[in-house]
Amino acid sequence: MLKWLLLIAGIVLSCLWFKDKKQAKAVKQETATPKPAMAKAVSEPEAMVLCEFCKVHLPTSDALVIEDRFYCSKEHLYAIDGRGWLGDALWRISPNQDVRPENIMPDLAVVHHISLPPGGFKSQVSSQYIIDFFQNNLDTSVHPYFEEIASQKVSSHFLITRAGKLIQFVSTQNKAWHAGVSSFLGREKCNDFSIGIELEGDGDTVFEEPQYQALAKLMAELNKMNPQLQVVGHSDIAPERKTDPGKLFDWKKFQKATGISSEKLPFGLDSR
């Protein structure tokens, strides 16, 4: 009898010993290789961002990014948004602006040229000085010409650098201070109803190919805003005071690049 009792006790003890060992192994395995579900639960969820154009929420990794802004698609990145800002331009807000009278829709684009200091773009990247000028931040110690102009309060909606980079200073819905005393076919104060576009350059140098390309891209977006938009040079609306964009701005090339109809170029295609 005693022999049987000892045998049963032996079997029970060895069963318990095996069970313990199995459990210990299972715990060890769990700590060594956590299951994927557990790993997911402890990791950070991806941050969501807002498309600047349509305000849809999307994960950061799906967004197109420019400066500190996000876009859900190329279509929205390249468009002018509901507040009058072009997605793929650099935004450098100018204080030199005010509201359009009775919120009128602009129906004219005015092409200018600008170079700071004069001819500066030929030897260096100088577009930052134009940004500084439009933001009333021009460092007058850099060049004697800057002292002359630093107190002027001017701006444009857009600047196209020699490399074809677009910079926006004022919403298309607001008035930028680019045209000055001016008259378009009998309508005075062109700033009230126009969009100002500065090309980095001067009257003695041909404009760069990427500048025409950027201008064409910008015109396509402006035309979506107002299909009736007409285009002139600054000298067309202020002939006594201004010569820009000048004889070297190629209006024929501009028309070819934009596909704009001749009726929307009331001063024609000849150089002037």
| Interface positions with Zn ion (CB under 5 A) | 51, 53-54, 72, 76, 112, 234, 244
Tokens of 51: 């498309």
Q: How far is the CB of 75 from Zn ion (least distance, A)?
A: 8
Q: What ranges make up the beta strands (E) of the chain?
A: 48-50, 57-59, 64-66, 69-71, 90-91, 97-99, 108-114, 158-160, 166-168, 174-176, 183-184, 187-188, 194-200, 230-233
Tell me whether strands 230-233 and 57-59 are parallel, antiparallel or unpaired.
Answer: unpaired
Strand partners, 176: 97
Q: Residue 114, by phi and psi: left (phi above 0), alpha (psi -120 to 50) or beta? A: beta
Contact 234, 242 (CB under 8 A): yes
Q: How far is the CB of 195 from Zn ion (least distance, A)?
A: 13
Catalytic residue among 75, 148, 198, 209: 198
Nearer Cβ to Zn ion, position 72 or 219? 72
Q: How far is the CB of 244 from Zn ion (least distance, A)?
A: 4
H/E run at residue 78: none
Nearer Cβ to Zn ion, position 41 or 47? 47
Nearer Cβ to Zn ion, position 53 or 133? 53
Our answer to whether residue 263 is catalytic in this structure is: no
Nearer Cβ to Zn ion, position 104 or 181? 181
Q: How far is the CB of 69 from Zn ion (least distance, A)?
A: 11
The residues carrying an active-site annotation are: 198
